[in-house]
Structure 1
């Protein structure tokens, strides 16, 4: 049954992989990068959404009205009931303009019928064009809420690019470190297997010595215990390889691929040890210029500049220049005036048609400005005492000072972190040199103990101890080389993005967050 279950498991696919190929796969298939790549597109939509407040709006409407009223006096215009009918249509266009102005244009038309004797037209055709224009001269002239939102949307779009770059660089660092971890675990397995081979060889030699009577039987038990201990280390090393395979697989492969869990990697690049000189001061200067968290903080300050500029504008008096133009046209069937003498004499009322003006004539009056109505004026308003605009500006200025101090604190943390990673490179470089020397000495020590045991001048215990010391020295050497290469990766990365949990010290305050907008469109600003 066990053999059948093993046969049903899919065969593993061994894939030879260089570190450059691993990085390329990570950039193409890493889910974190794919998620972050959508954010700039989302922010592009945000910019379009902010700009949409400048888009013109077209309105239209139609209505039909029928009305009957009872006459309440002799001058009501009818004997039994007053019947009115109206069909009206309207077409309008309004828009907020990018320089703060706003306009509206409405074209209204109607056809009115009535049996009221005092009406000069029945049916009556009317049309008018109404154009309104408003231009702020102080408040909302240089910047208004729409322009503020557009500018901030562009800054948020720039921030999304910074964040995408950061995710790519962090993924690049994680892939390289996972590759070196896998390379270390494979080398560590080889070291543990070599230790197991030495322990098994010692067990075989001890058994021969017991057979010929040159060694006590108790030494066989000690050799068997050493073999068992080394077997455990081999098992743990194999588990560590599987764990490292999973870590690298999750970073560079597409989980939807059918061979995702069955693909294993065979690193083709051995962890090198190339001594490098570290210019810590140059690394700090590079980080202060290029670190993503500092760039994001400066982006936040730029958004604060926009907010403060807007809030300073809002404390100005509201002075608006207004202009309006109305053109009107009237037509239809024009009736003769009512003959009140004939009514008083009880004669029949006969009204003749004086003129008939069609809808085309009415439109001609409108477009030829036959009856124009112009209005030009200025409106001024200014709140007395402390208002919302002043408190918002005071709050934003304090937040801006706070953000500048936070930026300085963040720069100090960045410099400290870069210096720490530079020290780690130097420390790991010395570790490799020390571990190599220790490994060489442990090899000589084991060789000497084996010769002494063969000459009857030592005991198995000292041989086993020398084997363990050599295994530890070899493990320490490959671990130091792996740590050295990872520290080089970290030093390159920390100059561009935060590295490690809580790195970078967090963001900074955006001036203007939490301010209130007064008026009908009051909103709570959230950053």
Structure 2
């Protein structure tokens, strides 16, 4: 009796062979995924509502769908999107240096006090002042500030010496203050704005790195689940072989052609394989839970569904061009762009703090015109004036009131009042300098050292990336060779089991020896499954190392800051 017909071995290997892929050489890297996934960059990104394939208690999930869901729902990405949005608002905040400032000041003052001298003009002096002032200030890119100040006041008094009572005064002044040494120039003025813009770009780089991390982590989690499920198939096929051997042993013992000890050995083989199935089933649950966590599936009911991966791990073999890979990595890695932006930030800080070491020399220029209006009281006494007239009240019949047209003089830009132009101007320089200037010099030196450190960190990063590329490229080549080796090992193990079956049928081998050969075949199949999924993971690491992972997965990072 043929206890192990050849079709039994071939049938058990069929699911594994279907899972295994025949990898053939291709281009340096394959084409990107067919579907394009757009990833938003800010907190306003709208979450997607995935059309999940759910049925019979199962969630059928493709790799592209898993990645798309994670890119919208992953908590780490959500946090990074908020940081990106904050950096954009910080740019808007930095533009505040050019905000025009409007100042309005009004006041009313009334004062009454007893006279201490006849020169006060009244026994009890009563004064009232009403003021209204408007000022506009506009900073400019050179570091200076342009300002317009319009001051208005109305003054009334009961003093006989107040010739114009009430009096209306107005002045319009234009002023410009400009630093000449410290804080001079557009680069110094816009330091915070430039830093905020660079930080915004850095936050975009941080988001890109986070997206890449998420894609790689989710894909690795997906393939971990695929591998665990295929390892379960391997373990179940191994159990099937052991049970077939046990059944044949039982039949031969019943007919008296085999010792009962052989039945114990086959039973032990079954128990060992059942234990392996339990272990693999636990690995499947662990891998499924990890994938659920990465996808951030909120609905509790989704956590109770069995995840069934539907994407095949089959992929063409990638031919590695190391020089092209290194060039791609140095041109496309987000980490390099991010570090270069940080160096630009450090250069701005270094330039700014070097400027702060200079003395403080400010130029102030102002020009203004003044206007006066109101009612002028004139006493026209007959005869020549005398000193006594200053202290005697003027009889009403000698009083003449001249009205000064304030509004008309204002319309003529304060020109022509009493036939004159009332103007004023000022030019001044203010200088100050700390004699030791230790604080500014120390801060400048610290900034220079930080810049040197940033440049060294860039060199170290590029060296690290070169190492990562070489390691990842070697990993892909090694994984490909392991697939070839595992396939040959599995084929030889199948042939070895066929030979063992014949020896067993001829009474040359025991059940224990056949079980060992079965275990060798199971181990070979397991290694082949592991080699194929390891190749997938190696490709992910390689594409990330050379900076094209998002391109390969058909993912586009969209800056939706203006949405």
TM-score by length of 1: 0.85
Contact 1:319 1:381 in 2 (8 A): yes
Q: Of residues 426, 439, 444 in structure 1, which corresponds to 2:495?
A: 444
Alignment partner, residue 360 of structure 1: 407
Name which structure has the greater RCO, CA cutoff 8 Å, separation 6+: 2
- Aligned pairs for 1:480-491 (under 5 A) are 480-491=531-542
Aligned length: 487
- Aligned pairs for 1:78-477 (under 5 A) are 78-79=122-123, 81-143=124-186, 145-252=188-295, 254-257=296-299, 259-272=301-314, 274-336=316-378, 341=388, 352-357=399-404, 359-361=406-408, 363-364=410-411, 366-368=413-415, 370-477=421-528
Alignment partner, residue 72 of structure 1: 116
- C-alpha spacing 1:196/1:84, structure 2 compared with 1 (3 Å): same
Question: Could you tell me how far 1:449 is from its partner in structure 2?
Answer: 2.3
For 1:218 and 1:148, the matched residues in 2 are separated by 87
Contact 2:490 2:528 in 1 (8 A): yes
- C-alpha spacing 1:196/1:383, structure 2 compared with 1 (3 Å): same
- C-alpha spacing 1:413/1:101, structure 2 compared with 1 (3 Å): same
Task: Answer yes or no: is 1:38 the counterpart of 2:82.
Answer: yes
- C-alpha spacing 1:242/1:138, structure 2 compared with 1 (3 Å): same
Question: Could you tell me how far 1:386 is from its partner in structure 2?
Answer: 4.4
- C-alpha spacing 1:495/1:149, structure 2 compared with 1 (3 Å): same
Kindly report structure 1 stretches of 4+ aligned residues shifted beyond 6 Å: 343-351
Worse-matched range after superposition: 402-411 or 156-165: 402-411
Contact 1:333 1:353 in 2 (8 A): no
For 2:210 and 2:66, the matched residues in 1 are separated by 16
For 1:180 and 1:291, the matched residues in 2 are separated by 24
Alignment partner, residue 13 of structure 2: none
Contact 1:134 1:321 in 2 (8 A): yes
TM-score by length of 2: 0.80
Question: Could you tell me how far 1:223 is from its partner in structure 2?
Answer: 2.2
Q: 1:429-485: per-residue Cα shift (whole Å, max 9, x none)? A: 222122111111222222222332232221111122122221111111100111011
For 2:548 and 2:407, the matched residues in 1 are separated by 71
Instruction: Please list every run of 5 or more consecutive structure 1 residues that lacks an aligned counterpart in the other structure.
Output: 1-9, 499-527
Alignment partner, residue 69 of structure 2: 25
Q: What RMSD over aligned residues (CA atoms) do the two structures have, in Å? A: 2.7
Alignment partner, residue 10 of structure 2: none
Contact 2:414 2:422 in 1 (8 A): no
For 1:30 and 1:170, the matched residues in 2 are separated by 11
Q: 1:234-273: per-residue Cα shift (whole Å, max 9, x none)? A: 1222222222222223334x53346431444322332226
- C-alpha spacing 1:24/1:345, structure 2 compared with 1 (3 Å): closer
For 1:132 and 1:321, the matched residues in 2 are separated by 11
Worse-matched range after superposition: 295-304 or 360-369: 360-369
SS at match of 2:141: coil
Question: Could you tell me how far 1:342 is from its partner in structure 2?
Answer: 5.4
Contact 1:445 1:466 in 2 (8 A): yes
Question: Could you tell me how far 1:57 is from its partner in structure 2?
Answer: 0.8
SS at match of 1:116: coil
SS at match of 2:198: helix
For 1:242 and 1:12, the matched residues in 2 are separated by 18
Contact 2:142 2:189 in 1 (8 A): no
Q: 1:167-220: per-residue Cα shift (whole Å, max 9, x none)? A: 222222222222221211111111111111112222222222222222232332
Instruction: Please list every run of 5 or more consecutive structure 2 residues that lacks an aligned counterpart in the other structure.
Output: 1-53, 382-386, 550-563
- C-alpha spacing 1:345/1:11, structure 2 compared with 1 (3 Å): closer
